[in-house]
Amino acid sequence: MLQEFVDQVEKAARSVMEEMHTAIPGKITAFNPGTGQATVKPYGTFTTGAGKKMAYPTVTGVPVIIPQCPSANVQIAFPIMPGMDCLIIVSEQELDAWLGGGESENDMRFDLTNAIALPGLSNKGSTALQEACATESIIVSNSGTKLCVSKSGIEITGNLDVKGNISCTGSYPG
């Protein structure tokens, strides 16, 4: 009798946990740079209460995280494109109030509709990542053009087009 009770509690807890999402790898299928929101398709499957395995549904209106400080008008932007992998982070709180500036009317904790996408998830390394680790540098690359910021200075590979003034407080070997 006690074991049956324990089994029922475990079954109920498992059922609740299967409905709770935290983070899932996914693929961006569409992106709107005007709103900063994507449509994402989570990888994998979930099991319904009836024991049926199903693919996760596509999620729309997903805010995308990019490095930025809006109050200082500072951003780092890169292309977000369909086919790009991301980490889907599921908010503990409903995002509707944050997105719309109003009050939340639902209590949909850890629901896929409250997803946030962190683009750039990768299951393999890259030459830029290898170089950054080997030289303890920040590497920004785009095809043959590269910016390397290291302890010893800044190196630019590729054409340089400057719009604006250039000033120098040290010597210039020109």
pLDDT band (50, 70, 90) for residue 156: very high
pLDDT band (50, 70, 90) for residue 40: very high
* 35 belongs to a structural domain: yes
The backbone region for 45, taken as left when phi is positive above 0, alpha when psi lies in -120 to 50, beta otherwise, is beta
Same domain, 20 and 90: yes
CATH number at residue 57: 2.40.50.230
Query: Residue 154's closest CA among 140, 173, 168, 167?
Result: 140
Span of 31-40, 87-96, 108-117 with lowest mean pLDDT: 108-117
Domain span at residue 109 reads 2-123
Same domain, 64 and 12: yes
What is the value of pTM for the model shown? Answer: 0.74
Number of domains in the chain: 2
